[in-house]
Structure 1
Amino acid sequence: MGCSGCRVRFNCGKVLSKVSVFFTMVLIFTYFFYCLTGLCDSAPRTLYSQQAPDYDILDDPRRVSPRLLPDAPSHRNRTASEDAAQVEAPGQQLPLHMPGSARESAESNGIPVSNSFGTKRFPQAIIIGVKKGGTRALLEFLRIHPDVRAVGAEPHFFDRFYDKGLEWYRNLMPRTLDGQITMEKTPSYFVTKEAPSRVCTMNCQAKLIVVVRDPVTRAVSDYTQTLSKNPGLPSFQNLALKNSSTGLIDTTWSAVRIGLYAKHLENWLQHFPLSHFLFVSGERLVSDPAGEMGRVQDFLGLKRVVSDKHFYFNQTKGFPCLKKPEGSSRPRCLGKSKGRPHPQIPSEVLQRLRDFYRPFNHRFYQMSGQDFGWD
């Protein structure tokens, strides 16, 4: 009997061991099945599972370390095309079903809504120009708005990378939720002959924003930027004038040519009605940022969220900065590349340029319906 009882207990132990192994294998198989089908990734993550990034959106145009698209090589020395493949990386993840008050609170504390939800759409609005007019400031001011999602880097699709196709371009865009606007800015579009027809091919209903500035000041600022990268550049007057004795302006120099706003606008008006344009004053964007941002938000059909409370004037830099938001370590200002001191240009050269631009400026005032007061 004793031996018989031992055998029964031994057999029961073997059965239990086999059952345990069986259920273990079932659990392992179930785990791998869920992972292979991607269901593991859909598990919700804790709202504060990672520390919110402390970034300065105006010092770093991409807001946080950019994420390259899958087809973009991650070489240490990147090319312009690789830069164009950068999109805004998501910061802290917020649940899609968050109550409105919670979303607004999180966004006001610098936590952007996650890119994990929503759809990649073609931009409904584009800042198309102009270089050294204030486009970077405008974009960063707009990105405060919770209903604006924008690419940080300039895609340059309609002037440099059009051969990559519209699907490539769409994939550069951040994901947006219903009611949000997708935007990008590339100032060289305004002066690119082929850009208007290409943009219209994508969306003839697109809203177009042009930030303009006194063309003489803009040309000097353009030259200053180039000089900082190429100290051996000829003097401004040598580049601006074909011949110093005749005083003829060299319109082949890009710094001069960009300021012919009326000519560039004529090209765009062949494809878009004037009602699709908003002309933002670069000067007023500095002197009255809230006022200009009010016009921009109205044009885009947005609630006026960006207002006086978001700005303060930085006396050292000479332009407005964003006030320090709650939870951030410092105010957000344009980076060191903005507000460079301009070189001394002979007054007679500047006057010749003003005389040259005057008829083009007046024509632009008539076309746009706005007098920018540059004369």
Structure 2
Amino acid sequence: MDMVILVFCMPFTSQSRRMCFRNTCIISSMIIFICVFNLWIPSMLPYSEFIVRRWRAQYRQNLMAQPKFDFLSNYKNPCFIKIDATRSLNMNVSDGDWKEIPQDSNNIKRYNTGRGLNQDTKLPREPKPGSEIDQNKYQGINRTKYSGPRLYCLPYFLIAGFPKCGTTDLWHRIIQHPDIVVHPKEKEPMFFDNRRFYNDTPTIRPPVSRIEKDGTWLLETYLEFFTEPTTYIEKHFDARNGEPYHDKITGEGSSNTMPINDEWFQLPENANLREPKYTNADHVHHLIPQIKIIVMIRDPVERLLSGHLYFSEKYKYDTNKELFHNVVVDAVNKFKDCLKYNTERGCAYDKSITTIKNRIRVGLYAVHIADWFRVFSRQQFLFLKTEDYIKDVRATLVKVFDFLQLEFPPLQSQSSMLSKEKINKRTKTFDMLPATRKLLQDFYRPYNDRLWKLLGDERFHYTYSEIDSLK
């Protein structure tokens, strides 16, 4: 090619030849670029939305860079004291619809989300003998002052997954235990999976709202979410060797914490990666390494249909068995296409391939749980099978309280727990088409096989026969 250019440019002057050579090089480079571009772009089209989201990403608070908390040994719940110099004089402990904490600790009200016990209901509990400290005279940490040391508590337990597996029903039963105290209104702060990236419900906030300019939560916001449970935990204790031991615990039930890591690319520790190095599991472990994690698992085929129907009522979209079939076909095809240009794990955390109608990725239990097993010990998990929970609620509650190291509650509390009606009942339902069921069973089968092997428990081996696919 150089020889052709040289021959072509010989009749011209030296300056003209140089200009001709330069222009020819530019044109040749453009031709080569266009050829490569035309070959590259079609293969990158499925990845284009991800690239755009990465380009527009706003990096969020780096939780992995936060200093570890020094938890207090005389609290069963993970609580710590922090020197707080950032609270202003106009920051109150309670505002909005929150109830002020009574000064008399004996009159402190039970906290729940409004669907459990009445706010004024007190649960009976046998007093423990040998108390050598007057609770009414115990000073503790002044939580209302604007600076200085303050007591903060993080959750002792977390119902981390999976949505539409009975987590809400379980939550409203276990929070009636006398030793569990939770946020008065909200089961799901959704800090790790949602509100630190975007806040679609700005009315849900802690009593002291420390947020970014766009309404997203900071770690300090999450700490403030547990303000009232923290006050209750501090005011109630037993005396052990003349020292106060606070044995109440708090928790939260954000069931998307385990499967939903959709905004991982907005975290600075995951910059320039095609799949996350750190997920919600790493962030929870960094902040609360000893947390206890409850996971509810359900047949992923039934879970997907349940979620589709739930969101159809919430977001008011039309659905029937034929429309659901089309949604499933589209979701399965998109996931398979994603696997052509990305890793399985990358696709499991890629929100661009699914919508609220077809969160097919949530049912990849083995993929999500493996990320949590990477940082937490197996002993910190309690896995519950939804089908077993439905058959025997009491047996499941026994497992939960034993896992949380709590005594089984008094008979009156047991009666209240067991007699509660099911939470989140669906008013809309239909049976999926046999073709839809067969498609989903084939899709989930390899992940189901991996799940029970990962857990080492054949109870979680969801298998499908030909009869199942014809239902």
Residue equivalent to 1:365: 452
Counterpart Cα distance in 2 of 1:306 and 1:261: 35
Residues 347 and 143 of structure 1, relative CA distance in 2, 3 Å threshold: same
Counterpart Cα distance in 2 of 1:164 and 1:244: 33
| Secondary structure, aligned partner of 2:448 | helix
Residues 346 and 99 of structure 1, relative CA distance in 2, 3 Å threshold: closer
Q: Does 1:303 align with 2:390?
A: no
**Equivalent residues of 1:249, 1:353 under 8 A apart:** no
Residues 223 and 44 of structure 1, relative CA distance in 2, 3 Å threshold: closer
Q: Does 1:188 align with 2:256?
A: yes
**Equivalent residues of 2:294, 2:381 under 8 A apart:** yes
**Equivalent residues of 1:241, 1:248 under 8 A apart:** no
Residues 223 and 249 of structure 1, relative CA distance in 2, 3 Å threshold: farther
Counterpart Cα distance in 2 of 1:297 and 1:364: 25
Q: Does 1:278 align with 2:382?
A: yes
Q: Which amino acid aligns with 2:120?
A: G
Residue equivalent to 2:309: 224
| Cα offsets for 1:26-82 (capped at 9, x unmatched) | xxxxxxxxxxxxxxx98759969xxx99x9x78x44766xxxxxxxxxxxxxxxxxx
Q: Does 1:290 align with 2:367?
A: no
Residue equivalent to 1:10: none
Residues 196 and 100 of structure 1, relative CA distance in 2, 3 Å threshold: same
Residues 44 and 143 of structure 1, relative CA distance in 2, 3 Å threshold: closer
| Cα offsets for 1:78-120 (capped at 9, x unmatched) | xxxxxxxxxxxx63689xxx97189xxxxxxxxxxxxx9x965
**1:87-236 mapped onto 2 (5 Å cutoff):** 91=120, 100=127, 120-151=152-183, 152-153=185-186, 154-162=188-196, 164-173=217-226, 174-175=229-230, 176=233, 177=236, 178-193=246-261, 194-233=279-318, 235-236=323-324
| Secondary structure, aligned partner of 2:177 | coil
Residue equivalent to 2:371: 267
- What is the root-mean-square deviation in Å for CA atoms of aligned residues? 4.0
Percent identity over the alignment? Answer: 25
Residue 334 (structure 1) shift: 3.4
Residue equivalent to 2:421: 333
Q: Which amino acid aligns with 1:237?
A: H
Residue equivalent to 2:435: 348
Q: Which amino acid aligns with 2:437?
A: L
**Equivalent residues of 1:240, 1:249 under 8 A apart:** no
Counterpart Cα distance in 1 of 2:329 and 2:161: 25
Residue 255 (structure 1) shift: 2.4
| Secondary structure, aligned partner of 1:211 | strand
Structure 2: tracts of 5 or more residues without a match: 1-100, 130-142, 144-149, 197-215, 237-245, 262-278, 339-347, 464-471
**Equivalent residues of 1:241, 1:249 under 8 A apart:** no
Counterpart Cα distance in 2 of 1:223 and 1:148: 32
**Equivalent residues of 2:177, 2:409 under 8 A apart:** yes
| Secondary structure, aligned partner of 2:308 | helix
Residue equivalent to 1:318: none
* TM-score (normalised: structure 2): 0.50
Residue 339 (structure 1) shift: 3.8
**Equivalent residues of 2:176, 2:413 under 8 A apart:** no
Residue equivalent to 1:4: none
Residues 257 and 42 of structure 1, relative CA distance in 2, 3 Å threshold: closer
| Secondary structure, aligned partner of 1:305 | coil
Counterpart Cα distance in 2 of 1:190 and 1:347: 30
Structure 1: tracts of 5 or more residues without a match: 1-40, 65-89, 103-115, 313-320, 324-331
Q: Which amino acid aligns with 1:155?
A: P
Give the total of aligned pairs: 271
Residue 227 (structure 1) shift: 1.5
* TM-score (normalised: structure 1): 0.62
**Equivalent residues of 2:175, 2:181 under 8 A apart:** yes
| Cα offsets for 1:278-306 (capped at 9, x unmatched) | 11111111110111111111111111227
Counterpart Cα distance in 2 of 1:137 and 1:187: 12
Residue equivalent to 1:241: 329
**Equivalent residues of 1:216, 1:350 under 8 A apart:** yes
Structure number with the higher strand fraction is: 1
Residue 244 (structure 1) shift: 10
Counterpart Cα distance in 1 of 2:106 and 2:379: 45
| Secondary structure, aligned partner of 1:159 | helix
Counterpart Cα distance in 1 of 2:431 and 2:337: 18
Residues 164 and 47 of structure 1, relative CA distance in 2, 3 Å threshold: closer
Residues 271 and 232 of structure 1, relative CA distance in 2, 3 Å threshold: same
Residue 350 (structure 1) shift: 0.6
Counterpart Cα distance in 1 of 2:126 and 2:413: 24
**Equivalent residues of 1:249, 1:356 under 8 A apart:** no
